[in-house]
Chains A and B, each alone.
Chain A
Amino acid sequence: MLFWEGCPSHPEALELLQDVLRERGIEEPIELREVFTLEDAVELEFPGSPTIRIDGRDVDPAGATDPPALTCRVYRLPDGRPSPVPSRQQLEEAVV
């Protein structure tokens, strides 16, 4: 999980991800990596915080191609509402 400290959503996202992995019996460790600068964001193709990749795949492919930025990432919940964290459903589908 890539995160930028300027956005407060990563602890919630991490907790949600841990919960989904635990529920699925997956014990692989979560690698946390902080993004400090725009240069880091460009190098890591980081479209906003948090960005979660499972086996290299973004849990929200639609948002993965947004320009690199030190910002909060916008996710869409299943009902269309915006959210600063991915939905449980997105994470569950990503770990299949």
Chain B
Amino acid sequence: MSVIESPPAFDLPGVDGRNHTLDEYAAATILVLVQSCNHCPYVLAWEGRIDALAREYADRGVRFVAVNSNDAEAYPADSFDAMVEHARVAGYSFDYVYDESQEVARALGSERTPEAYVFDADRRLVYHGAVDDNREEADVTTNYLRDALEAGLAGETPPVADTPPVGCTVKWRP
């Protein structure tokens, strides 16, 4: 496990027009943070699967929050306004927040988009990395994120706790 042990505190604007804080998710059985963005083709390839998991596990108390930390000055496609539009078009069922200062991404130690972090009921990191093992959904053989959710809900350790995220680099400010 190469990253942090618990989620960083945050208070970030969401595409729904209000701010979201870590405390807001205190009642969640599991909290999933996903480092994400709008423009990355790897995010575009995986976002449907992420959304499907968020919808499937919502009634079991699992909450998903996607965090965009990319430098929107250098990458205007990742601006907050573009986030609002992207989430609307993609039909995100989860919260999508803008980490303009990049503090959350730095605290998480994020490198890629998408990059998933699963925190259990005690908010201990139980899984970090890729959503699954193939960009092509039809070729997926191991669903790392789903397996982590099932293990976390059962109070068990996921079969795989850490995988290399595959995707675009986080676009850091100069």
Binding site for B on A (CB under 8 A): 6-9, 38, 69, 71-75, 81-84
The listed residue with most B CB atoms (<10 A of its CB), out of A7, A72, A82, is: A72
Say yes or no: is B42 at the interface (Cβ < 8 Å to chain A). yes
Q: Is the CB of B42 within 8 A of A84?
A: yes
Q: Is the CB of B168 within 8 A of A74?
A: no
Say yes or no: is B41 at the interface (Cβ < 8 Å to chain A). yes
Task: Please measure, in the bound complex, the distance between the C-alpha atom of A73 and the C-alpha atom of B45, giving whole angstroms.
Answer: 13
Binding site for A on B (CB under 8 A): 39-42, 44-45, 74-75, 135, 166-169, 171
Query: With A71-B39, A74-B39 known to touch, is A81 a contact of B45 (CB < 8 Å)?
Result: yes
Q: Is the CB of B41 within 8 A of A72?
A: yes
Task: Give the nearest-CB partner of A7 in chain B.
Answer: B168
Instruction: Point out the residues of chain B lying under 8 angstroms from A72, CB to CB.
Output: 40-42, 168
Query: With A6-B169, A8-B166 known to touch, is A69 a contact of B41 (CB < 8 Å)?
Result: no
Measured between C-beta atoms, what is the minimum distance from B158 to chain A in Å? 24
Instruction: Point out the residues of chain A lying under 8 angstroms from B169, CB to CB.
Output: 6-7
Measured between C-beta atoms, what is the minimum distance from B167 to chain A in Å? 8
Task: Please measure, in the bound complex, the distance between the C-alpha atom of A75 and the C-alpha atom of B40, giving whole angstroms.
Answer: 11
Task: Please measure, in the bound complex, the distance between the C-alpha atom of A74 and the C-alpha atom of B40, giving whole angstroms.
Answer: 7
Instruction: Point out the residues of chain B lying under 8 angstroms from A74, CB to CB.
Output: 39, 41, 44
Q: Is the CB of B75 within 8 A of A69?
A: yes
Measured between C-beta atoms, what is the minimum distance from A63 to chain B in Å? 11
Query: With A8-B166, A72-B168 known to touch, is A84 a contact of B75 (CB < 8 Å)?
Result: no
Task: Please measure, in the bound complex, the distance between the C-alpha atom of A73 and the C-alpha atom of B77, giving whole angstroms.
Answer: 12
Task: Please measure, in the bound complex, the distance between the C-alpha atom of A77 and the C-alpha atom of B40, giving whole angstroms.
Answer: 15
Q: Is the CB of B75 within 8 A of A82?
A: no
Query: With A69-B75, A71-B39, A71-B75 known to touch, is A83 a contact of B168 (CB < 8 Å)?
Result: no
Q: Is the CB of A82 within 8 A of B166?
A: no
Q: Is the CB of A73 within 8 A of B41?
A: yes
Task: Give the nearest-CB partner of B70 in chain A.
Answer: A71
Task: Please measure, in the bound complex, the distance between the C-alpha atom of A54 and the C-alpha atom of B118, giving whole angstroms.
Answer: 44
Instruction: Point out the residues of chain A lying under 8 angstroms from B168, CB to CB.
Output: 6-7, 71-72
Measured between C-beta atoms, what is the minimum distance from A83 to chain B in Å? 6
Task: Please measure, in the bound complex, the distance between the C-alpha atom of A62 and the C-alpha atom of B48, giving whole angstroms.
Answer: 24
Task: Please measure, in the bound complex, the distance between the C-alpha atom of A72 and the C-alpha atom of B39, giving whole angstroms.
Answer: 8
Q: Is the CB of B44 within 8 A of A82?
A: yes
Measured between C-beta atoms, what is the minimum distance from B111 to chain A in Å? 10
Instruction: Point out the residues of chain A lying under 8 angstroms from B40, CB to CB.
Output: 71-72
